[in-house]
Amino acid sequence: MEQENIGRKEREKLFKRAEILSAAEELFFHKGFTATTLDDIAVKAEFGKGTIYNYFANKEEIYLSIVEDFIHKFIEIVNEADKESESFKEFIAAYISRLYCFCHDNRVGYTLYVREFSDINIDTVIHDKCAYFDRYPQMFQPFKNRFDKAQKEGIITDRFDIESIVVFVQHSIFSNLYISINGRRRGDFDCRHEAELAVEFILNGILKK
């Protein structure tokens, strides 16, 4: 009985936290970090301004929580793609198609993540905190391993080192995904088609054989 009570409170707390995050996400997405005020968030979340501070230490922490969420999900995707595919080609295809579909459904989270992660946006502060870079290995190791193996097996070019290739590929994917999702033609966005293009581009380049 008591346990049940604790459970409910806990659940309520999490629920409200999620409400706040959801409101903030939307605002950050449309107005950016600096331009979004705590008042905005409070109003949209339908809480008092002070209440927000019972759930997050400050504005930045709200932003970070959103990005953090995305990272967790991203890691899952990479691992799933890794597990469920045999060959290098299959892995690339699996990874890209999963990523494209997932990000299509989680446009806002993905966008905020990229803004932070891209080194392009200076608006938020996380930048200075290296905490982030600690996640890199977890995020990209499976990816690297696959490329490493593929290079050793002679499947992919050996004219450049693995680090360069992974970086190039990863950024091509991310930036194009970003554009597809947020760009001016986003209305047309078709997961499958875009993923296909990306896979083909990555695997075969644009020149006909």
| Among 75, 139, 191, 203, contact with a copy of itself (rule: CB under 8 A) | 203
Cα 61 to Cα 154: distance, rounded to the nearest angstrom: 45
Q: Which 38-57 positions form the footprint of DNA (CB under 7 A)?
A: 38-39, 47-51, 53-55, 57
Residues 143-162 within binding reach of DNA (CB under 7 A): none
Kindly state the DSSP code that residue 165 receives in the 8-state scheme: H
Q: What is the DSSP string of 9-29?
A: HHHHHHHHHHHHHHHHHHHHH
| Angle at 26 (CA atoms; ends 100, 58), nearest 5 degrees | 115
Q: Pattern 129-148, binding to a copy of itself, x per CB under 8 A?
A: ----x---------------
Residue whose entry in the numeric block shows the structure tokens 């290739």: 165
Cα gap 102→74, rounded to integer Å: 9
Single residue of 40, 80, 123, 148 touching a copy of itself by CB under 8 A = 123
Stretch that binds DNA, among 33-41, 80-88, 167-175, 180-188 (CB under 7 A): 33-41
Q: Which does 162 bind (CB under 5 to 8 A by kind): DNA, a copy of itself, none?
A: none
Q: Report how many residues bind a copy of itself under the rule CB under 8 A.
A: 49
Give the nearest distance from C-beta 17 to a copy of itself in angstroms.
20
Q: Using alpha carbons, list the distances in angstroms from residue 89 to 98, 104, 150, 166.
A: 14, 22, 9, 15
Measured in residues, the chain has a length of 209
- How crowded is residue 69: how many other Cβ atoms within 10 Å of its Cβ? 17
Q: Is 172 near a copy of itself (CB under 8 A)?
A: yes
With CB under 8 A as the contact rule, the residue among 114, 142, 146, 195 that binds a copy of itself is 114
Side chain identity, residue 5: N
In SS3 terms, 82-117 reads as: HHCCCCHHHHHHHHHHHHHHHHHHCHHHHHHHHHHH
Site string for a copy of itself, 1-40 (x = CB under 8 A): ------------------------------xxxxx-----
Please give the residue ranges that form the binding site for DNA (CB under 7 A): 13, 16, 35-39, 47-51, 53-55, 57-60
Residues of this chain that interact with a copy of itself (CB under 8 A) are 31-35, 114-115, 118-123, 133, 154-157, 159-160, 163-165, 167-169, 171-172, 174-176, 178-179, 182-185, 197-198, 200-209
